[in-house]
Amino acid sequence: MRALWVSSLLISVAAGLPRVQVLPTVERPFVFMHLAKAGGQSLRKYVREGARRIGIPADQMYIPCSTGLDCWTFHINRTAGNFSVIAGHFGVTELEEAGITEYDCLFNIRDPVDRAMSCLSFFYNELFQDAGRWSEDTFRRKATEEGVGTAVCHNDAARMLVSGMDDSVFMKASESHEVSKVLVTKALASLKRCVVVDLFDGPAHGEEWHSKAHTVIKAYFPWLDNGQIIPRENISNATLQGRPQKPQRLPHRLMKELEKLNRVDRVIYSHAQRLMEQQHPALTK
């Protein structure tokens, strides 16, 4: 088995793909960069169980909602110790702030407009009640009002992959072509080092797509494989702290505004899909 892992590692390095992580360590931890509202909660639990199965002690795991950490933990507290397994809404900024520069990462993706819809309806369900009567300018203003929710609703993939920038830059990136270009360039450079999966249980993906993501995870992180497929997560029925996630619809003209607001993440998403297709056959045939 170890010979197979070594072979996979050599293949990934030679192909310019993310390296295979045989085992996570405090020197080079496993990091699941959990993009919010993209179906990663089940994967976070899967990571926790995988770490427990191979004997990773609890004090080396940093997983909000799972290891005694509050679900609304968005920073890595290194004063609590050194970690070999990290899974949460942490991006490159949070990793750099914690002094973590060497790591192997997993990044989940979702169509950015679908994700923005899910995010806005989760945090601001009332946003949709009168939206049909709003002008495009009014909707755009209300959908980008600064707050805990909107900070992660627009271009959040870019926010997680680009360090050292204020949240407002990502929310309003579509207003400047030059800013968008810089964000995309930096985000794609960070994304290249990660294994990319799409775990969203949506009508366009379904069982085959989910199985493909699971196969990729097993290939790059063999220590996570327990012989069972990752539990599928139906986002439309997900709840967090008692708040239901209800599917919402908007008029087409406002959907176009959401597309504009998430222009940076649209480019990242398209690139991530291509990366995922490259990563899948390279190690899993």
Could you list the pLDDT tens digit for every one of the 285 residues in the chain? Answer: 444 444 444 444 445 789 899 999 999 999 999 999 888 888 898 899 999 999 999 999 999 988 788 888 999 998 777 999 999 999 999 999 999 999 999 999 999 999 998 888 887 776 777 777 888 888 888 888 766 566 788 999 999 999 988 888 887 787 888 999 999 999 999 999 999 998 764 444 445 556 777 788 889 999 998 766 666 554 333 434 444 444 457 888 989 999 999 999 999 999 998 998 888 766 555
- Structurally, the chain folds into a number of domains equal to 1
pLDDT digits (tens, 9 = 90+) for 169-217: 887 787 888 999 999 999 999 999 999 998 764 444 445 556 777 788 8
Domain at 163, CATH number: 3.40.50
Token reading at 203: 């009508």
| Local structure of 61: helix, strand or coil | strand
| Local structure of 198: helix, strand or coil | coil
What's the full length of the chain, in residues?
A: 285
DSSP string, 99-168: T--S-EEEEE---HHHHHHHHHHHH-GGGGTSGGGS-HHHHHHHHT--STTHHHHSSHHHHHHS-S--HH
| Domain around 167 | 2-284
Helix (H) or strand (E) holding 177: helix 177-191
CA distance 34 to 194: 12
Q: 39, 233 in Cβ contact below 8 A?
A: yes
